[in-house]
Amino acid sequence: MGDASLPKTNILLAFYKEFPAVFYDQVRSRFSDAEITSLILPLGTPIPQEAARKATIIVTLGSLPKPEDAKHIKFIHFFSAGLDKVIHNPILTDSDIPVTTSSGIHGPPISEWTLLNWLAASRKFSITYEDQKKHIWGNEAYGTGIQDHVGKKIGILGYGSIGRQIARVSIALGATVYAYTASPKPTPASRRDQHYIIPGTGDPDGTLPVSWHHGTDKASLHSFLSLGLDHVVVSLPLTPQTTHLLGAEEFALLAANKPQGHRNPYLTNISRGKVIDQDALIKSLESGELSGAALDVTDPEPLPKDHPLWDAPNVQISPHISPLGDEYFVRSFDIVRENLERSRRGDPLINAYKRGKGY
């Protein structure tokens, strides 16, 4: 792609709000030979023709050009890892313009969010927090039912960059990790992370799990959930195959196979709300079948004020903010920089969206 009439790289940043001036300074320092332009558009609003036709790279959260206005585009990069909200856009369905995601940058913040919720639940943090506000000095009764994570089993559904960093921090706690993927990963080469990796994070070679499991059918999933898992982390893309992947049957199976003397299993969802049958989850929490759940995603979002999930016992809900941090957008542009160099060399792009797979 590209055109001789557009010799200079023109990176168009299309976002729904203005970034701080320091952010633009950081981006320009990384792309000194490129022209950086920005456009503020309501989320999902199409990029106007004039702006699209001047760009060679578009960086966006959800605003896209029409295919006929994108003939100069070398690639389009998304700030998100999942593209389920734009998967039916003509750019993805009716063009072959390369599309890349920000997969790989979410591992550190989301793993810290996950660890925060695990420890808040297992150490009964809410009790001491509320007592502190009331100026109450507690007693040894706090220790009842508290367990640490040494020897616990962590099952990770979807062993991408997020799952790999969660594995890394889990092992630091003394836990063991079990990985589940849709396709088989029988060789060392197949277990390597092919996406963008923040240096010093994750599991680049796929050596941390004590065992790998795979499948797209119920039997394979149920075999995995029968391993005696203390935690199940959902880190999957939302596809027709993963919609309501976990429901009443799966929660019952988890509880039935819990290790003797351990608390009932704990569910963490940092993917998409629709991967979980939310009504079944509420019932499982109310019955104690699951000891708790940490949810950064719900169905729908925003979660209505009168939704019963808010009041389910032992649930911790945050408004889809687990990936956020000051480093987020700068790291996303690191992927753009890498792919710009790859594009110039004619090499395959990293984090390329695979049309037909949905991720």
> How confident is the model over 90-116, as pLDDT tens digits?
999 999 999 999 999 999 999 999 999
Q: Answer positive or negative: Cα dihedral of 288, 182, 156, 213.
A: positive
d(CA 258, CA 254): 6
Comparing CA positions, the residue from 323, 292, 324 lying closest to residue 126 is 292
| Active site (annotated) includes residue 53 | no
Question: Could you say which of 168, 191, 231, 272 is catalytic?
Answer: 272
Question: Could you say which of 18, 130, 301, 341 is catalytic?
Answer: 301
Collapsed DSSP state (helix, strand, coil) of residue 138: coil
Percent of the chain with pLDDT over 90: 88
Chain-wide mean pLDDT for the chain? 94
- Looking at residue 7, its pLDDT comes to 55
Helices and strands of the chain, counted as H and E runs? 10, 12
Q: Which structure tokens are listed for 238?
A: 């939302």
Matching residue, tokens 């966006």: 60
Question: Could you say which of 320, 337, 338, 342 is catalytic?
Answer: 320
Residue 107: enclosing H or E segment and its boundaries?
helix 107-122
The residues with which 119 forms a beta bridge, in sequence order, are: none
- Looking at residue 359, its pLDDT comes to 60
Domains of the chain (ranges; CATH) run 10-105+327-345 (3.40.50.720), 107-317 (3.40.50.720)
d(CA 280, CA 173): 30
| Active site (annotated) includes residue 140 | no
Q: State how far the alpha carbon of 331 is from the alpha carbons of 193, 279, 338, in Å.
A: 17, 36, 11
Q: Angle CA(159)–CA(161)–CA(163) in degrees, nearest 5?
A: 45
Give 275's DSSP letter.
G
Give 8's DSSP letter.
S
Q: State how far the alpha carbon of 41 is from the alpha carbons of 80, 89, 331, in Å.
A: 17, 17, 22
Strands of 10-15's sheet, edge to edge? 35-40, 10-15, 57-60, 75-78, 99-100
| Active site (annotated) includes residue 345 | no
Kindly give, in sequence order, each residue whose CB lies less than 8 Å from that of residue 295, ignoring residues fewer than 6 positions away: 268, 269, 273, 309, 315, 316, 317, 318
Q: Which structure tokens are listed for 28?
A: 């320009």
CB count, 10 Å around CB of 19? 14
Contact 16, 61 (CB under 8 A): yes
Low-confidence ranges of the chain (pLDDT < 70): 1-7, 358-359
pLDDT digits (tens, 9 = 90+) for 240-285: 999 999 999 999 999 999 999 999 999 999 999 999 999 999 999 9
- Our measurement of the distance from residue 125's CA atom to the centroid of its chain's CA atoms, rounded to an integer in Å, reads 25
Q: Where on the phi/psi map is residue 148: left (φ > 0), alpha (ψ -120 to 50), or beta? A: beta
Amino acid at the residue 103: S
The residues with which 74 forms a beta bridge, in sequence order, are: none
